[in-house]
Structure 1
Amino acid sequence: MTVGEVAEELGVSKSYAYKIVHQLNDELKRMGYLTVSGRVSRQYFVEKLCYGENTGAAKGSK
């Protein structure tokens, strides 16, 4: 996802979206993944921001 997509998805400014992307990329780097500045994995974004289907609440609710 680009910074613009992150900003749109969360309804935040692009400058704040850059901070979020940077933080997520730092986490990915510490786990040994290669990252691209200004972009973040959509899968990781969804997972970290609790929008994914695999959150603890979603698992327990069925």
Structure 2
Amino acid sequence: MKSVFYSAQEVAELIGCSPSKAYEIIRKMNADLEKGGYVVMRGRVPIAYFNEKCYGGSANAGE
């Protein structure tokens, strides 16, 4: 089964930053999602939301 979340390590690799910066980005994205009423997982961000915010909605941007 394919995961629907990126981990902080995956985010760091995708955008070329440190893991600590990836966690910071994920915290900000998850805060936005929580405001919208979504359930979030610490240290993980939904792939679709990440791609929308970082790549302008490209569904396959991280592959």
TM-score normalized by structure 2?
Answer: 0.80
Local SS of the residue matching 1:16: helix
More helix by share: 1
- How far apart, in 2, do the equivalents of 1:31 and 1:52 lie? 18
- Aligned residue for 2:35? 30
Q: 1:16-58 CA deviation, whole Å, 9 max, x = no partner?
A: 000000000000000000000000000000001124338xxxx
Local SS of the residue matching 1:49: helix
| Aligned residue among 2, 7, 13 for 2:18 | 13
Could you list the runs of 5+ residues in structure 1 that have no partner in the other structure? 55-62
- Counting matched residue pairs gives 54
- 1:4 has 2:9 as partner: yes
% identity of equivalent residues: 41
**Structure 1 segments (4+ residues) deviating >4 Å:** none
More strand by share: 2
Q: CA RMSD in A?
A: 1.4
Larger-gyration structure (1/2):
1
TM-score normalized by structure 1?
Answer: 0.81
